[in-house]
Every structure is written in structure tokens, then in C-alpha cells.
Amino acid sequence: MPELPDVTVYVERLEALVVGQPLQELDVHSVFVLRSVSPAPADLAGRRVAEIRRMGKRIVIGFEGDVYAVIHLMIAGRLRWRAPGKKSPGKIALAAFIFPNGTLFLTEAGSTRRASIFLVAGTRGLAEFGRGGLEPFDSTAEQFAERLTSENHTLKRALTDPRLFSGIGNAYSDEILHRARLSPLLLTSKLDREQIQRLRDATLVTLREWTERLRAKVGDGFPEDVTAFHQEMAVHGRFGLPCPVCGSPVQRIRYATNETNYCARCQTDGRLLADRALSRLLKKDWPRSIDELD
């Protein structure tokens, strides 16, 4: 799922391309993508784009007359920009925002159809999509600490809870925790002041670095290869590969359709965190430390 750095770059490029442009048509290709009935897509025709903003992991296109399109990409949803006359993305296109200078397509790979568009009128309607998460860059150290410890969760869950923090998901939480040298399963109630500060510093640096890296990669173009997996990442999606800090193989905890990646030497004092499926299968044969794997 695109997270804060990815969505920020989407927003910046859309600001450059469509703010001030009149929407000619919102062409809905799939009945499943539009999750609201009022206002209707036809009501947006002719309205100029007044603003683009990020709400958590959502992208909001604000039109004249206080009307908004709220786009949630979910796991496989992506935005694609095509100049006039260029080929459309094909069958994966769920909707098209058609402007004089080009078309913004919402696409989704696979058949799950989780990506969505809501059309809402007024700031009150828009406010319903806010999850209440703290914006990392807009918070003080005290606010960060207060929000982090407001509920007793594992660090992984706390960072990815949109009610607690805005825009952080599975990929960047792995990177943040690795940089902070903290276990993903450490409970927030067990943190001391130094660990909280370390986590905040890692959060800001990681999100800023990746935003700058993605921004530089896109340049004056448009993000076309948005992914949660990058070779430059330290641990996310790099199970079995060497940690860039200590060289130990990156470990993982698998659950449902997701997984957490971490370095045992850097984050858990060498302890291997129990994988629900594999540790139950191996039972007594489950290795307890990274040294048992060497």
C-alpha cells in the first residue's frame, strides 16, 4: 500500500499537473470503485481543481465549489498520468479524471477491487475520512510520545495504526524500527524516554529520506513504479538477505497476508521472534537466537 512518502510525491506531481485545470469528465469504468452516490460524477464536470492534499494514505482532489474526490489506493491501487493521445492503461483502469492537458487514471492490479473513490461535498463530508492519526512532521516530541503511549500496543501495531499515526504502513514501519534499533514486538508501555526519542528521530529521518529519494527519482515526471519494495531498503521485503548494518540475515514474522521484517542482531539482542506458523510447526526445534542459524 502506498504510504506517506509515496502519497506525498503523488500529491506534489498532481499539484503541478492539474491544479487550476478544469475537469472535463470523471469517467467511471468500474461500478465497484465509486463508493458514493452524491454528488454524482457528472456534477464535477467543468469544475477547476482548487487543491490536492493528503489525508493519511488517501489522496484528495479538491474542486471549486467545495467538492472533493477522495481516493484510497489500498494495496494494489495506483495512479497513472497520460498526456493527450497517449495509450490508456487498459483493463486495469477503474476510473479516469479527464483534463485538457491529460488524464489521471486510477488503476488496480488483480481482481480484489479494494481501491475506492468517494465524492463528497463540503469540508464536513471530507472530515469523515480523517482517522485522527498524528502527522509525524507536524508533531512535537511531547505529542509524539503522548500519542505513542496512549494505548498499549506493540511498536509495529502502534506505528501502523491510522488512529495513532498518519501515513505509516507495513513497509516504512519496518524501516523505522530497524533504524531505531527497536523490536517490532516491544510494547509501548515498556518504552523509556530515550527509546521514544530514538523512535521519533528514526520516524522523521526515514520518512524524509524516502520522500526525497522518491521525489528525486520522479523528477518532473509522474510516479509509475510505486512499490513497497526497494533494493535500498534495509529490512522490508529482504528476508534472508544481509542486514546493511551488521550483515546478519534479515528475519520475518508472517501473519495472514502480511509480514514484518527485522534484524535480530540490531533490534532484538539476537533473539528470533516467533513466527506463528513456523514456530508452531517446529516447536522445540524452533531456533531461539540468530546464533543458532549461523
Task: Give the cell for residue 122.
Answer: 463540503
Residue 142 φ/ψ region, left for φ over 0, alpha for ψ in the -120 to 50 degree band, beta for the rest: alpha
Instruction: List, for residues 240-258, the tens digit of each pLDDT value.
Output: 999 999 999 999 998 767 8
Instruction: Please check the confidence at residue 34 and state whether its pLDDT lies above 80.
Output: yes
pLDDT score recorded for residue 289: 61
- The proportion of the chain whose per-residue pLDDT surpasses 90, expressed as a percent, equals 88
d(CA 117, CA 191): 39
Instruction: List, for residues 100-134, the tens digit of each pLDDT value.
Output: 999 999 999 988 889 999 999 999 999 999 999 99
pLDDT score recorded for residue 111: 80
Instruction: Please check the confidence at residue 275 and state whether its pLDDT lies above 90.
Output: no
Instruction: Please check the confidence at residue 232 and state whether its pLDDT lies above 80.
Output: yes
Task: Give the cell for residue 44.
Answer: 464535477
| pLDDT, average across residues 267-292 | 64
Angle between helices 141-148 and 193-218 in degrees, nearest 10: 110
Residue type, 27: D
Q: Are 21 and 101 in contact (CB under 8 A)?
A: yes
Neighbours of 6 (CB within 10 A): 25
Instruction: Please check the confidence at residue 137 and state whether its pLDDT lies above 80.
Output: yes
Neighbours of 240 (CB within 10 A): 9
d(CA 146, CA 165): 11
Taken in order 149, 153, 156, 159, the sign of the CA dihedral is: negative
Band of residue 285 on the pLDDT scale cut at 50, 70, 90: very low
Q: Which domains does the chain have, with CATH numbers?
A: 4-127 (3.20.190.10), 136-293 (1.10.8.50)
